[in-house]
Structure 1
Amino acid sequence: PYHQDEKNYTMGHAKVREDGLFIYRTWIPYYLQASSLYLFGETTFAARLPFALSGVMSVIALYFFTFKLTKKKSTAFLATLFLISSVPALVYFRTARYVGLPILLTILLLNSYATIFEKKKWNHWPLTLLSIIYFHTMYVAFAGVILGALTHFYINRNSITSNNQKRVVQAAIVTSIFTLPWLWFIAPIFAKIPEFYLSANDQIDTSNWRFLKHFTGFLFQLNNYIFPLILLPILLKRSLRPYRKEIELCLFCIMGLLFVS
C-alpha cells in the first residue's frame, strides 16, 4: 500500500519514505480488504465483509475457547452473549478497518497458548503462526496480549513440562525473525507521528502526568464498555479458585494492553 494513487492522497503526515510506501500500519488488513474488493467489486459491502466475517468467527471461537477453559456450556454461552451484545464490538466488526481483527486473533492466540499446560507434547506452530499474523495485523495490540501471556507463562512455568518450555523458546525465535525486522523498517514513523499531533494541537499534554491521564481514560472506557470494575471482588470468590490460571491470563493480557496503549 502507498500513501497515494492516481486519485487519492492520504495521511501525508505519516509519510517517511521517498517512494511513498505506507508503513504507518501493518498490511494484512489491507490485503484482506483488497482481496474482497477484487472478488466482489468496489462496494461498501465488499470493504466491510472481511471484518464482519471476523466478528462471526470471533463469536464462534469465543464460545469454544470459554468452554475449553471452564467445561461449562452456560459460561460459554454467557461469554458469547456478552460479546454479541457489546455495542463497541458490533461497531468494530461493521467498520471497514482492522479494528475487529485483533478480537478474533486474541481469542485464537490465547486458545493456542492455553494448550501448553497439557502434559502432552505441545505443538508451538499454531501459536507461532498466529503471533506473526497478529503482529502484522496490529502490532500494538499484539504487544499487549503477548506481554500478558509471557507474564502468565513465567508465573506458572512450574506447571509446564520442560519440553514444552523449550518449545516456547523455539516459537519466540521464529516469531522474532518474522516480526522484529518490521520494527526496524518502520522506526522513522515513531518520531514522525508525535511531531504531527503536537504541531496540530497545542492542547496536547506533554507532561509526565499524561501517562496517568491516559491510563485513567482507558480504565474509564474499560469500566463503561467491557467490565464494571466494581465487580472485580467477585474474582476473589472461593468458587472461582479452580480457574485461577484462566482468570490470571485474562487479567494479565488486559493489563498488557493497558500498558502498551
Structure 2
Amino acid sequence: MSPDDAIAALVARRLARRDGVRPLVLGLCGAQGSGKSTIAARLARRFPRSAVLSLDDLYRTHADRQELGRRVHPLLATRGVPGTHDVALGIATIGALCAGKPVPLPRFDKACDDRMPAEEWPCAPADCELLIFEGWCVGAVPQDPAELVAPVNRLEAEEDADGLWRAHVHAALARDYPALFASIDILALLVPPDWPTVLRWRTEQEAGLAGRGMDAAQLARFVQHYERLTRHIWRTMPAYADLTLYLDGQRQPTAIHHVECPHRAVDDGQDQFIR
C-alpha cells in the first residue's frame, strides 16, 4: 500500500460522514523530501472539489524575514522554522475556506525566496470538500524549555550559542501555531528511516532546481535549521497523529500506525478530533 492509498482510505471514511459546507481538513506532516507535495497532489486528483495549501506558501515575505533577522536573531532571516510564517494569513485563508468561500490560496516562490504576487495565486473552489494542508511541522507541539538548552547540531552550537533563536522558534510555535492547526480534522505523519535520509532526499530535491539551488555545504547547513523540531516531531507526534506512516529509503511504508488518543472520541468505530 502506498502512502497516498493509506491516507486516502482514512480521508474517504471521514468524507462519508461529512456534514454541512465546512471542508474536511487533512494535516499532512513530514520531513523535507518525504513526499508531502507529491502525496497532496495525488490526493487532490483522487478527491474532486479539493484544495492544497502548503505551510511553505505561508512564509513571511523576504523583507519581513530580513527585518526579523535584524531585530531578533540573524537565523530568523532564513525561511523555515516557526516564527518565519505569516500565521495570520494562514488562519484567514483556512477560515474563509471553511466558511465556503472561493478563497485565493497563497503561493511562495522559493527560487526568489519571496511570496508570489496575490494576482497569481490559484483560487480554491467555493464548494471545497477537502483541504489538504501539508508542511514539515504541521500539527507540531513545542518542546519542554529544558530540552532547548543543549544544541543538537553545529548550527545551533556555533550560530545560536545562547539559545535565543531556538527559544524564539518554540515560543512562536506555542503561542501562534495552535490557532493555525486548530482546524485540522485528520493528522497524518510521514517518518523517514533516519536523519541522514532527510538530507539525501533534500539533496535530490535540490538537484532538480537546475543550477538554481544550494551546493552541498549550503544544503547541509540549511537542513540543520529544521533538525531539532523534526526529531521532536518523530518522538512525539506518533502518539497523537491519526495515521503514522514509517517509510523506507524509497518513501514506501514499512509500517502504518493508527492511534486513538485521549483527546479524541470514537464515532462509528473511527476516531475523531473533539473540537
Q: Larger helix proportion, structure 1 or 2? A: 1
Give your verdict on TM over 0.5.
Answer: no
Q: TM-score, normalised by structure 2?
A: 0.30
Q: TM-score, normalised by structure 1?
A: 0.31
